Structure 1
């Protein structure tokens, strides 16, 4: 069979000519191997004519298959088959890669050091006495957790909801509050999983570059001229760049957003491990700000908890969507987190963890500076590094047993970057990693 499929050939094999039917029948042909990976599908207008349907019907069917990561492409390059597994999945996140068994320094994920996480024993024992344990009452958040998070929440929010982690909270917000196919402004770079979620809902992504103070006002202004439905940013300790939005930048963004109706979505992914106090535009725009804080890196990833704030109507919408699944987050885990948030010994340990993480990052920054590579001090569990060639950097480091995160899946605009996790980089490996990074620059 030719690489380019003929419109008539495909039309003869599509029995149901609705947009859903075209998508299902085409997916079945791909899954069976009748249409092979790499083949180009007919142009939308040609297939529409062969089927006797409108081009919009075919285009909608292709959009569905793109969401399922079965086909890719657009415009002059055409549309081709890129996979035979018909299921939505986070492609960027999956492409982080397996660098092989020879890796001795895995610096890909900015995961917390297990040795720096709090002891959960007393908190879990306390949770067995939680209110409504084993009840099927679908409450958005337990009162004890709501009261605990309010102590450090950056603005007075109307309502709260417990989610199964920060990314779960972000996913719930985007699936319920952002209409599929609309424009969304988001920081660039950002977390790959956020871009995956936006891809899944078919959003038209508008990049908003950052500097040392946060999202660039001119870039946000340009994006707002295109009337995005939402603006997504990280208010403190950016997960890649490490900067925290400054008071001056807050004022600038506030002025730009004041006359808009854009939904503001704030992703506080590092949470209580940040060296900076919590920041939110919710103080200025409480009626259209949704704030998400993750507690995974600070208190334990297996707690699987994040907290979302917004208006009562927003939280009601999100809670209604959750009824497709579990309906609520574990009360045992919510009570456990509430206990940890108010336990003096846990908070003291959290302060010590912040100090150690800061030193590990600073040690690598200092080592790189000695080798002529300048990196901002900043905060966080990683370093975002511009390199001459991302591919060369990955290969060079992997050859020396070091794995880092490729920047490609975290960017919208072109660029060459890698992210190096410092959260578990012990002192004995700092010079080894710095020497390898110096080779990346020739």
Structure 2
């Protein structure tokens, strides 16, 4: 191999080769996504032992400079920002891609705040409020009766829990099975952690059996799954699908299974778990952000005792425990009968508004099937990005499915829409505009094919 074929990489030791590669990346000679030479070929080019180039690539992987994709080879890491949930900054367009709950349906905490008086919590005290621990333990136990003993951990939201769970179990370049399409925060967490995402397709019943089996054959060390209201698709595991997935996982009891039941109290679907009675490493996470508001940065994690112990080591008292004031506020809200009735009404509202908008799309010739959750995942006969571009001209800011993809795939033909806060007139106008955009894009495609 000549110098051009190995990109100008030089060095005789692992450190020298790694430093040479880092310099090429920093100068822009190598760009994000560029493939690197196979270790054997690079070793032959440089006249060094193969183990030397393996060590050099390992150093760069641990530093997040390169990523290894198994059979796909080693590539320069992509450090571009990952799309995030929330409102688009400085946009004059009507944002229908926020992924936010309706602020009018978030319970008012004023009454609960007035009842929270109590003595200060000091260093060295238990990190979980006893009242919240009792309530949360009963809440989780209802759905974990067959999973064996568990311990609770409180974290600053679901994304915080997933990040800490992966960090206490994996090292850089370990493979993680992610649903495809996937929740944006999970993509972001895996990328920043330096792990290797392995996509598992999602259909109407959730994570697919063949997809999970293939991911396990690729050596994933962890599986992150959304059992219901999967974001962005709205899919929920059926009882049969969950049983099939448990059967596949039965031969891999030490693979860490993380279930993110983010919609929990708002969900209109039953909960079915991937966690079998003999699985050894698992965690079920439920945050309160969807029903008590995103600013309530708190999640309850139930996990097997060994995982809980390692997770607790990453939540050292005095540095990163979750505020007891926040824990007490959460407890006051979820034990208030009026608040719980409001949460039930909110869940029904989201389901009804999504179903109503799907019916509007169908009436205008765009097939749609509402799932569970805050959003609607709409299948299109044309690339979604082209439709989103045309919607911008009509005053709407929508999200194409491309942002949620994990694996290498053709451009997405899906839109993810957040429509539950639109009034009837605006909802009808958006449905009309989507149908018009689809028709226009399809017309241009047909003209190009004919031409």
TM-score, normalising length from structure 2? 0.81
Q: SS at the partner of 1:329?
A: coil
Aligned-partner SS, 1:92: coil
* CA–CA separation in structure 2 for the residues paired with 1:177 and 1:276: 31
State the SS of the aligned residue for 1:235: coil
Q: Quick check: 1:256 aligned with 2:253?
A: no
Equivalent position to 2:150, from 152, 158, 171: 158
The aligned residue for residue 215 of structure 2 is 223
Distance in structure 2 (CA, Å) of the matches to 1:233 and 1:175: 17
Match for 2:91 among 86, 101, 117? Answer: 101
Aligned length: 422
Distance 1:7 1:123, change over 3 A: same
The answer for the alignment partner of 1:125 in structure 2 is: 114
Give the unaligned 5+ runs of structure 1.
84-89
Tell whether the 8 Å contact from 2:168 to 2:310 is kept in structure 1 after alignment. Answer: yes
Paired with 1:135 and 1:321, the residues of 2 have a C-alpha distance of 19
Q: Corresponding residue for 2:281?
A: 288
Contact 2:282 2:307 survives alignment (8 Å): no
Question: Is the CA contact 2:176–2:222 (under 8 Å) kept in the aligned structure 1?
Answer: yes
SS of equivalent residue, structure 1 residue 177: coil
The equivalent residue for 2:448 is none
Q: Given that residues 186 and 233 in structure 1 are in contact (C-alpha distance below 8 angstroms), is that contact kept between their aligned partners in structure 2?
A: yes
Residue 394 to residue 377, structure 1, CA distance change in 2 (3 Å)? closer
Answer yes or no: is 1:195 the counterpart of 2:191: no
Decide whether the 8 Å contact of 2:224 with 2:258 is kept in 1. yes
The residue number in structure 1 matching 2:340 is 347
Query: Partner residue of 1:87?
Result: none
Helix, strand or coil at the partner of 2:283: strand
Equivalence for 2:82:
92
1:326–1:440: structure 2 CA closer, same or farther, 3 Å change rule?
Answer: farther
Higher relative contact order (CA 8 A, sep 6+): 1
Alignment of 1:32-431 (within 5 A): 35=28, 38=31, 43=37, 54-64=52-62, 67=64, 91-93=81-83, 101-103=91-93, 105-129=94-118, 133-137=120-124, 139-153=126-140, 154-156=143-145, 157-261=149-253, 262-282=255-275, 284-285=277-278, 287-323=280-316, 326-387=319-380, 388-413=382-407, 414-415=409-410, 416=412, 417-431=414-428
Distance (Å, rounded) in 2 between the aligned partners of 1:94 and 1:379: 20
Deviation of 1:143 after TM superposition, in Å, equals: 2.0
SS at 2:154 equivalent: strand
**Structure 2 residue matching 1:206: 3-state secondary structure:** strand
What TM-score comes out, normalization by structure 1 length?
0.83
Evaluate the alpha carbon distance shift between residue 391 and residue 377 of structure 1 in structure 2; reply closer, same or farther with a 3 A threshold. closer
The alpha-carbon distance between structure 1 residues 386 and 126, as it changes in their structure 2 partners (threshold 3 A), is same
* In structure 2, C-alpha distance between the alignment counterparts of 1:108 and 1:18, rounded to whole Å: 46
Q: Distance in 1 between matches of 2:294 and 2:281?
A: 29
Equivalent residues of 1:363, 1:427 under 8 A apart: no
User: Aligned pair in 2 of structure 1 residues 347, 98: CA closer, same or farther (>3 Å)?
Assistant: closer
| 1:379 to 1:35, Cα distance in 2 relative to 1, 3 A | closer
Residue 204 and residue 29 in structure 1: after superposition, are their counterparts in 2 closer, same or farther (change >3 A)?
A: closer
Whole-Å Cα distance in 1 between the matches of residues 86 and 401 of structure 2? 10
Contact preservation (8 Å) 1:390, 1:406: yes
Q: Deviations over 1:2-30 (max 9, x none)?
A: xx79966x759x9xx664x8767876786
Please provide the CA RMSD for this pair. 3.5
Deviations 1:238-288 (Å, cap 9, x if unpaired)?
Answer: 121112211122222222222322222101112211123433344634632
